[in-house]
Amino acid sequence: MRKPTLEAKTYQHCALNGTAWFTGLFLKTSVCAVVLMLSACTTSVQAPDTTYYLFDSNPVSYPQKVNTSNGLLMIDVVALPDYLKTNQLVMKEGENRIVKANYHSWADDLDESIQRAIINDLNVALSETSVVDFCNSCQKVRITVEHFYPTQAGDVLLSGYYQIDHAQNEGQVRYFHFTSELKGDGYASAVTQMRSLVADFSASLVAYLNR
């Protein structure tokens, strides 16, 4: 058998060294990739804490009412659209998109919070009427909110309708629409102005009741 020449031996040696170098580079690259993946997992950004907002955070005290001349007035739980039946705050973007806030939530159910706020407003304003959340055989106010949110354009909107039922007789439907310009940035400012719009609605309801 013919022995390999020097050139053949040199080629074989270089080929073996090249294979070893490629294998070593592959192993090093693989190790680096694993280290980078583990590093990315350990340095991932932590999600921010959720901020909770009280809608009726500053109820006003009023004297205890006894034997009021106009009796009792019931404010029923406020009916909300589906997009407001969530603990997340929402904002209107563009013409018709409602976006939920990821880390900004109501501290309590919004329908009950609005109900409590209106009851407080009316009890302060109506000295001869006791306003409650439940009673039998008394006037009942049923409120339906259709729109209630801050907008990307920089204002806040509250609209809907209400009825005042007398015993078994349903009252006439009356519509309301209130807006205001946002006076500050962030959801905290928006919540304050949303509460202010409900106070405006309460004032209009008092005016109607006292007509």
DSSP structure string for 6-46? HHHHHHHHHHHHHHHHHHHHHHHHHHHHHHHHHHHHHTPPP
Burial of 105: CB neighbours in 10 Å, binned 0-12, 13-18, 19+? middle
Is the CATH number 2.40.50.100 carried by domain 51-209?
no
Percent of the chain scored above 90 by pLDDT?
61
The mean per-residue pLDDT over the stretch 138-154 comes to 96
Burial of 147: CB neighbours in 10 Å, binned 0-12, 13-18, 19+? middle
The tens digit of pLDDT for each residue in 74-106 reads: 999 999 999 999 999 999 999 999 999 999 999
**Domains in the chain: boundaries:** 1-44, 51-209
Q: What is the mean pLDDT of the chain?
A: 82
The mean per-residue pLDDT over the stretch 20-34 comes to 44
The mean per-residue pLDDT over the stretch 24-30 comes to 43
Band of the pLDDT at 1, cuts 50, 70, 90?
A: very low
The mean per-residue pLDDT over the stretch 40-49 comes to 69
pTM: 0.76
Band of the pLDDT at 20, cuts 50, 70, 90?
A: very low
Lowest mean pLDDT segment, chosen from 15-24, 29-38, 93-102, 147-156: 15-24
Phi, psi (degrees; rounded to nearest 5) at 42 = -80, -20
Band of the pLDDT at 173, cuts 50, 70, 90?
A: very high
Band of the pLDDT at 188, cuts 50, 70, 90?
A: very high
